[in-house]
Amino acid sequence: MVMNAKTMQTEAPPAQSEITNLLERLAQAEASLEAMRKGKVDALGICESSGDQVLTLKGSEKHYRLLIEAMNEGALTILADGTILYCNPRFAEMVQTPIKKIIGGSLYHFVEIKDHSSLQRQLRQIPSVGVKAEFTLCATCSTGVRLPAQLSLRPLDVQGVSMVAVVATDQTDRKRYEEKLRIQKEELEQRVATRTAELTQVNEALQAAQEELHAHARELEQKVTHRTAELQATVSSLEQFCYTIAHDLRAPLRTMHGFSSALLDDFAPALNDVARGYARRITDASTRMDEQIRALLAYGRLNSSEMPLISTDPGPLLEQLAKSEEFKHARVDLRTPLPKVFANPIALRQVMENLLGNAVKFVAAGTVPQVCVSAKAQGDTVRLLIEDNGIGIDPKYHHRIFKVFERVTGSAYPGTGIGLAIVQKGVERMGGRVGVESEPGKGSRFWIELRKADEASETPGSTSVVV
């Protein structure tokens, strides 16, 4: 049915009739639109100044058709058995076949044989919301085109006939991209595998080198232990040899001293001054040499003798020393009580005797020697300090004076040059340290450090000894 819109453009009567006419035309227009909406009208005739025009429903569908034809996806309408009712140019392009040859044919002709059963399955039971699946499209012509595509299938009911709307999306780019990604991934994996293998190799080489090093270190340690034992044996045999020599030297020395003294005692009147002077020099020299040999023997004994350490109170030992004849002329200030230390009482006595002896010996002429002995506990050690008002020592000699026969005061003061060597050796053998702070003219402060022996740290079985 075609409705002519011309009736809507009749000549206008005066006001009231014009309104009536307009209301009629409005009612007609609404009826026409309702009829078109319900599908009762296929076309609408419109009279215009430029001439009559018919607007058909086919015409209004046209833009949908244009859209489908212009779209970049393949679009088809097929029956459930695959018969193609409609195809757009893009699909024809994808399968490189003219549209004429496609329409009426079967979709199966354009799908690779291996995908047929899958397509059949999909077409047999498409859910109402549709389904998407991957297929390989191919051309029936000789170009041999093979195109990966995603087919989106959706059921359609066209005036009671079951159809399927198909949208085919070319997946070539996606596949190419996926393939590229896959190759890159494979390359990456390959590189990682190669690198891992290299690292494993390096690691193995490192481990081997490390093992070799350890073996070498063990070998070296063994050698060092062996050599140390050899050296210790050599040193102790040398020490024994020195000790024997020193010991044996005392006998002829005593003879020299005895005869030179006898010469002076028994024949002094028969000798002239020069001869007496010679005899006296022999006596003095042999006395000095004997002192030195005895000091050396004491030093040697410190090396070779056993030195058990016990908890020792240095206070009484120092008090005893201070009262002895040697220190009568000096003022000795003992800051007792002093903390107990782990020491060998005999060695500690020898060490203190030497330090106190030096403290009262190396003072300027006319000065009354003053010595102060105090202690400082530092963690698990005790530092015993011996300070004097003596001549002091130039710091450049501080490291030398603890060596055997090192004297820095010349012959102005008597001595063997072994006293401080004995101090150092004795303290070391007791597991301690020794040092000095001094400057010329400002006195000296010698110190020794020993392990503190408070009640809690005393070893079981050790006894507290007062020397």
Shortest distance (Å) from residue 371 CB to ligand ADP: 9
Shortest distance (Å) from residue 302 CB to ligand ADP: 14
CB 253 within 8 A of CB 286: yes
Task: For ligand ADP, give the closer residue by CB, 91 or 447.
Answer: 447
- Report CA 371 to chain centroid distance, whole Å: 55
Task: For ligand ADP, give the closer residue by CB, 37 or 396.
Answer: 396
Per DSSP bridges, beta strands 381-388 and 444-451 are: antiparallel
Query: By rule CB under 6 A, what string of x and - marks binding of each residue 326-365 to ligand ADP?
Result: ----------------------------x---xx--x---
Task: For ligand ADP, give the closer residue by CB, 146 or 442.
Answer: 442
For 266, the enclosing helix (H) or strand (E) is helix 172-267
Shortest distance (Å) from residue 389 CB to ligand ADP: 10
What amino acid is encoded at 225 in this protein? Answer: T
Residues 412-451 that bind ligand ADP (CB under 6 A): 415-421, 444
Question: Does residue 388 interact with ligand ADP by CB under 6 A?
Answer: yes
- Residues whose CB is less than 8 angstroms from the CB of residue 185 and which lie 6 or more positions away in sequence, other chains included: none
Can you tell me the distance from the alpha carbon of 198 to that of 144, in angstroms, rounded to the nearest whole number? 46
Task: For ligand ADP, give the closer residue by CB, 115 or 388.
Answer: 388
384-393 per-residue burial string, b: 16 or more CB within 10 A, e: under 16: bbbbbbbbbb
Is there a cis peptide before residue 337, judged by omega within 30 degrees of 0? yes
CB 95 within 8 A of CB 110: yes
The burial of 127, by beta-carbon neighbours within 10 Å (0-12 exposed, 13-18 middle, 19 or more buried), is given as: exposed
Task: For ligand ADP, give the closer residue by CB, 25 or 445.
Answer: 445
CA distances from 298 to 285, 327, 405, 419 (A): 20, 22, 14, 10
Task: For ligand ADP, give the closer residue by CB, 316 or 357.
Answer: 357
Shortest distance (Å) from residue 273 CB to ligand ADP: 31
Shortest distance (Å) from residue 408 CB to ligand ADP: 4
Residues 389-408 that bind ligand ADP (CB under 6 A): 390-391, 393, 401, 406-408
Shortest distance (Å) from residue 375 CB to ligand ADP: 18
Binding-site size, ligand ADP (CB under 6 A): 21
Q: Which stretch binds ligand ADP (CB under 6 A): 99-107, 297-305, 334-342, 410-418?
A: 410-418
Can you tell me the distance from the alpha carbon of 138 to that of 302, in angstroms, rounded to the nearest whole number? 106
Shortest distance (Å) from residue 350 CB to ligand ADP: 12
Shortest distance (Å) from residue 297 CB to ligand ADP: 15
Task: For ligand ADP, give the closer residue by CB, 287 or 462.
Answer: 287
Shortest distance (Å) from residue 298 CB to ligand ADP: 12
Task: For ligand ADP, give the closer residue by CB, 164 or 359.
Answer: 359
Can you tell me the distance from the alpha carbon of 50 to that of 225, in angstroms, rounded to the nearest whole number? 123
Per DSSP bridges, beta strands 146-158 and 161-170 are: antiparallel
Task: For ligand ADP, give the closer residue by CB, 68 or 420.
Answer: 420
| Token representation of residue 318 | 């120092």
Number of H helices, E strands in the chain: 10, 16
CB 143 within 8 A of CB 124: no
Q: Which stretch binds ligand ADP (CB under 6 A): 34-42, 188-196, 325-333, 385-393?
A: 385-393
Q: Which stretch binds ligand ADP (CB under 6 A): 159-167, 223-231, 342-350, 388-396?
A: 388-396
Q: Which residues of this protein are in contact with ligand ADP, per CB under 6 A? A: 354, 358-359, 362, 388, 390-391, 393, 401, 406-409, 415-421, 444
